[in-house]
Amino acid sequence: MSDAHHAIIAARAIITPINTRLKPQEVTYILEHSGSRLILVDYEYAHLAQSSKIPVIISNDTGRDDDPYESFLTDGRRFSEEKGWAGLDAEPDENAAAVLCYTYGPLFSFLGSIDRHC
């Protein structure tokens, strides 16, 4: 899944890593608050995203062609016409958001913090 971390940023999307120790309702809050449009999760933690209405891709980490994560990567390669990293446009704005992290704030609420490309 570490390849996904770099790929999401390279695709100029925003990644929101989530602490796997959180309760499902806390994960749901972060997913909804962040505006996530796709969830990529390891099979061991899929239960944390069960109540979300956002599309979910579960990585079983098998490497087999029928693994949903491998299918997702294959579709991405087809979409990029196999250009790989060289086919991606670099983010021209170093201040553009890259990573959205959440932490506990006062009164057990969550605070989001955006890290930028620079």
Helix (H, G, I), strand (E, B) or coil at 34: helix
CA distance 47 to 3: 22
Give the chain's domain count: 1
Q: Is residue 88 domain-resident?
A: no
* pLDDT at site 60: 82
Q: Which band of pLDDT confidence, cut at 50, 70 and 90, is reported for residue 57? A: confident
Q: Is residue 13 domain-resident?
A: yes
CA distance 37 to 26: 17
Q: Evaluate if residue 36 carries a pLDDT over 70.
A: yes
Q: Is residue 92 domain-resident?
A: no
Tell me the range of 3-7, 24-28, 59-63, 85-89 where mean pLDDT is highest: 24-28
Domain hosting residue 9, numbered range:
2-83+97-116
Give the Cβ contact number of residue 98 at 10 Å: 19
Mean of the pLDDT values across residues 54-81?
A: 79
- Say what the pTM is: 0.74
Q: Is residue 89 domain-resident?
A: no
